[in-house]
Chains A and B, each alone.
Chain A
Amino acid sequence: MFGIPSNMPSSVFDELWRLQQEVDELFGTWSSPLGIRSVPRGSFPAVNVSLTPERLDVYLFAPGIDPKTLDISMQQNLLTVSGKREVRVEEEADYYRQERFSGEFRRVISLPEDVDPERVEAKYVDGIVQVGVRRRESARPRQIEIQ
């Protein structure tokens, strides 16, 4: 039904997944120590992080929230995103499934040291919060000219 074009954003994450799986198979789950602020897989919201020489983007998959209630802050290289998602429960209805997250959430993401905490921007599109952070010039590859 859906073709997967090669420029799909997930393809780059797909590669990472394959790599993670291979590592997991080789070493079991003890392979790498857990980040001290990491949360269990499946926590709300899901997070992806991508990196280019110029910038770093954090994607938080947080559908159905009011972006005004989001609290996004950067301290050094720690990005903190907190907020609340209230899922309304119908009083007069009988529920069969309640799988969607409801309540307060908070995620702290440790970014590489070279990000510039002064240059952060955020937007909310189709239920994804995208936080873009610029990296410092010094971190970028430089072309060295021969005199």
Chain B
Amino acid sequence: MNEAEVAHMVTNTEVSRRGSGAPAQQPADPVAQRTQSVEAPIRPPVDIWEDRDGIVLCADMPGVSKDRLNLRIDGHNLIVEGQVKFELPEDAEALYADVRSSLYRRSFALSGELETGKIEASLKDGVLTVRIPKRAELRPRKIEVRSA
């Protein structure tokens, strides 16, 4: 485990409870802070689920457009990065700020039965959706029981 925050995407982890109590921005892990000395990235909140065909990850990344999104596979890790941008007048001063970083980053360790070469992603209104298919031969098959 290097700088990756490991979310066991397939081994069954406890489903975290949804709710407004979960912070939208959480402090980044210390390792990421060291590598990104300028500012600590925001950990975007995610939903992750699995169905027959694969795993889907949804991440909230407001202020990120397609050209400022960087989604990549590094070894066994899926790395989600994006840069926040919004229209700000030249001479503006900040009165209040919940969002204090311009970078999102979060990474996930993938497992071997996932087909990393066939990942599909889309971004709409600041929501990233990533679909990671399972290798076809490893998808669960229903075995028919024939009556004798």
Contacts and interface: CB of A to CB of B under 8 A. Distances in A.
Q: Is the interface of A mostly helix, strand, loop or mixed?
A: mixed
Interface of B: 7-9, 12-13, 15-25, 38-39, 45-52, 56, 58, 60-65, 70, 81, 83-103, 124-127
Across the A-B interface, the 10 shortest Cβ-Cβ residue pairs: A127-B126, A63-B126, A42-B23, A127-B62, A10-B102, A46-B98, A99-B45, A13-B97, A17-B100, A64-B127
B20 A43 contact: yes
Contact of A4 (B17, B38, B81, B127): B38
A64 B9 CA distance: 23
Contact of B95 (A9, A17, A50, A125): A50
Given A65-B125, A100-B45, A130-B86, A2 B58 contact: no
Interface residues of A, number: 57
B20 A63 contact: no
A107 to B, nearest CB: 10
A96 B85 contact: no
A13 B100 contact: yes
A97 B46 contact: yes
